[in-house]
Amino acid sequence: MFRELVKGREDYQVGSAGVGAFSGQGASRNSFALAKEAGMDLSRHKSRAVTVDLVEEATHIFVMGRSHLASILMDYPEAEEKIYLVSEFTADDNLRGQDLSDPFGGDLSEYRETMTHLEKMLPSVYGFIEQTWKEEAGRGSEQGD
> Is residue 31 situated within a structural domain?
yes
CA distances for 145 relative to 39, 126, 137, angstroms: 44, 28, 13
pLDDT at 55: 97
pLDDT in tens, 25-66: 999 999 999 999 999 999 999 999 999 999 999 999 999 999
Q: What is the reported pTM?
A: 0.88
> Is residue 5 situated within a structural domain?
no
- Report residues of the chain scoring pLDDT below 50: 139-145
Give the CATH number for residue 54: 3.40.50.2300
- Domain of 69, in residue numbers: 15-86+106-139
> Is residue 100 situated within a structural domain?
no
> Is residue 4 situated within a structural domain?
no
pLDDT at 15: 94
> Is residue 117 situated within a structural domain?
yes
pLDDT at 133: 81
> How does 76-99 read in b/e, with b if 16+ C-beta sit within 10 Å?
beebeeebebbbbbbeeeebeebe
> Is residue 32 situated within a structural domain?
yes
> Is residue 46 situated within a structural domain?
yes
> Is residue 115 situated within a structural domain?
yes
pLDDT at 134: 65
Q: Which long-range contacts (CB under 8 A, 24 or more apart) does 63-68 make?
A: 64/99, 64/100, 64/101, 64/102, 65/99, 65/100, 65/101, 65/102, 66/99, 67/99, 68/19
Domain count, the chain: 1
